[in-house]
Structure 1
């Protein structure tokens, strides 16, 4: 399989997650059973609210990466099933908290839990899922796995706080923004992949390679999400086009467009990020600016760069269905914007 991310040959099929989904389908059934079992509670609101998001149509990318990484290593046990469920609980908990912090109304095309049940319930059920994830880690019995996943949880929280302190700062800068998404998004991708090498009892070098794969894929994934907000629609994103813009989020397209814009353009961006320019007409103008400054093109170019680094990170593993599927998953993550 080609390692080229941006497929230029129109005769080739578009990259898909299907190979990875097929690769891990049986394992994913086992993971889903763990998730369904562990989200239960005698308090009815907990499974009701958790189920709204967990059953909300997400691709389960992070637990799939744990399973695919285990396949890549030839692991034949079943410890990774509970750990993949733990990864998904961490992710779901962070989404519940994110939507409260961001005041979001839509997630994966559905109303957010905080809009339906309120902020206190969303926060507390997120805490419940975090606790469930740690129960699963402890049951696995590996201090190394516990260290990797607990560290990832702490880093995600740090990334959230970093983003909060940088909120509505249009002069944020690319380096700090990459630090934020490296923590908020990429840390869990990296941990999801790395723990497979631990349960498979592989070398430190293989752990590092899978960590690098997940980390670079996570950054590429987030950068594409940033770009899609200005070029796509709710059918692609599961949220309304321009949500990031209307919420005053400073993402890489905005950072680049602001840095490259005229004095008048910068004034527009400052007003927009502060919430003073949030109409449909303002969003159309914002799209014009990110296109005119090549901010979208360059955001996607960076996404391809990190995607290629992810692919390169697993080049040393044995060729086969698992490596091909993981490679195509990277290509899919980047191709969503085209």
Structure 2
């Protein structure tokens, strides 16, 4: 566990994300070193399993938000590195736990940790990473940052329980689904952006602006993930198309298609999602239904709506490279496949 992990090259990403990657590059290298160090343990399985997920890819947008927001707010210390690392460990822990809950076999195109080491090891290593995340938060000596991130951890867990309750429930409403993703996804985006201003001791108005930015970016990001699952473009996410469908998840495209469909269509969703009775041709039928009723288009439009709110939240900050780069991150999150 001694070497530094390689981040994705700036030349590989969409142009709208490149300005952010350039600005955070040096600090993210330090975050990378902290991740390597904090994932170390004398218990061999811990770094081995953690490394498997850390090496599996992903752009690490959440810790980049912490770094970029701290930089934009003029922070000159080192604690933003610890907070960004804590954010990434929180995210990694939730991925480990989610794969167990969902029974997922693939994550970003690779076998999940639970498939290799088992459910028990995945949950326990996830707990270890959460513990390391909280240690780093405490080391920043910022009670406010600790409050924000610990609250986010609790909200994320609530969101996962809400999603579990709504799984296979075709009566789920759009409002109920937005509540789920607000908790399970947007909460960490929100906290990641806000703590950058907190550690820089910026006025409350700026902290709230970055909180709103992160929250709405997180909502947009998750809605695009939902749309991609039925779009046939899963190479963008690194997972199989139809994962949500096979797992019985009622996401926004399903909510919209179910409400707009006729009795025959609703019977299809009830059979495949509620009862879990799926044949090889059912995924294609599900894709046809979400396309027929404009559910993908409207899900993307809702994502654009939240993306616009995210950009507007940054109006309080003067124009500059960081503000431009954060707006570009919103564009990237929404337009990565559409």
Moved more, 81-90 or 234-243: 234-243
Contact 2:229 2:244 in 1 (8 A): yes
Distance (whole Å) between structure 2 residues aligned to residue 235 and residue 223 of structure 1: 17
> How far did residue 15 of structure 1 move?
4.8
Contact 1:15 1:331 in 2 (8 A): no
TM-score normalised by L of structure 1: 0.94
**Alignment-derived partner of residue 337 in structure 1:** 337
> How far did residue 279 of structure 1 move?
3.0
Distance (whole Å) between structure 2 residues aligned to residue 322 and residue 315 of structure 1: 12
**Alignment-derived partner of residue 217 in structure 1:** 217
Task: Summarize deviations over 1:105-156 as a string: whole Å, max 9, x none.
Answer: 1101111000010000000000000000000011111111110000000000
**Alignment-derived partner of residue 95 in structure 2:** 95
**Alignment-derived partner of residue 238 in structure 2:** 238
Distance (whole Å) between structure 2 residues aligned to residue 275 and residue 193 of structure 1: 40
> How far did residue 18 of structure 1 move?
1.6
Contact 1:247 1:275 in 2 (8 A): no
Contact 1:39 1:47 in 2 (8 A): yes
Distance (whole Å) between structure 2 residues aligned to residue 65 and residue 285 of structure 1: 38
Moved more, 228-237 or 289-298: 228-237
**Alignment-derived partner of residue 282 in structure 2:** 282
> How far did residue 275 of structure 1 move?
4.8
> How far did residue 29 of structure 1 move?
0.6
Task: Summarize deviations over 1:155-197 as a string: whole Å, max 9, x none.
Answer: 0001011111111101110001000000000000000000011
**Alignment-derived partner of residue 135 in structure 2:** 135
TM-score normalised by L of structure 2: 0.94
**Alignment-derived partner of residue 5 in structure 1:** none
Distance (whole Å) between structure 2 residues aligned to residue 86 and residue 216 of structure 1: 21
1:62-73 equivalences in 2 (<5 Å)? 62-73=62-73
1:304-323 equivalences in 2 (<5 Å)? 304-323=304-323
Distance (whole Å) between structure 2 residues aligned to residue 276 and residue 56 of structure 1: 30
Contact 1:245 1:278 in 2 (8 A): no
Query: Is residue 2:34 matched to residue 1:34?
Result: yes
Q: CA RMSD in A?
A: 1.2
Distance (whole Å) between structure 2 residues aligned to residue 237 and residue 51 of structure 1: 20
Query: Is residue 2:250 matched to residue 1:250?
Result: yes
Distance (whole Å) between structure 2 residues aligned to residue 39 and residue 14 of structure 1: 30
Contact 1:214 1:310 in 2 (8 A): yes
> How far did residue 259 of structure 1 move?
0.6
**Alignment-derived partner of residue 60 in structure 2:** 60
1:259-274 equivalences in 2 (<5 Å)? 259-274=259-274
Distance (whole Å) between structure 1 residues aligned to residue 208 and residue 276 of structure 2: 45
Name the SS of the counterpart of 1:104 in structure 2.
coil
Moved over 3 A (4+): none
Gaps of 5+ in 1: 1-12
Contact 1:311 1:330 in 2 (8 A): yes
Change (3 A) 1:19 1:280: farther
**Alignment-derived partner of residue 292 in structure 2:** 292
Distance (whole Å) between structure 2 residues aligned to residue 82 and residue 126 of structure 1: 18
Distance (whole Å) between structure 1 residues aligned to residue 189 and residue 280 of structure 2: 34
Query: Is residue 2:75 matched to residue 1:75?
Result: yes
Contact 1:233 1:240 in 2 (8 A): no
**Alignment-derived partner of residue 144 in structure 2:** 144
Moved more, 294-303 or 226-235: 226-235
Distance (whole Å) between structure 2 residues aligned to residue 219 and residue 279 of structure 1: 32
> How far did residue 14 of structure 1 move?
6.1
Moved more, 266-275 or 167-176: 266-275
Contact 1:15 1:329 in 2 (8 A): no
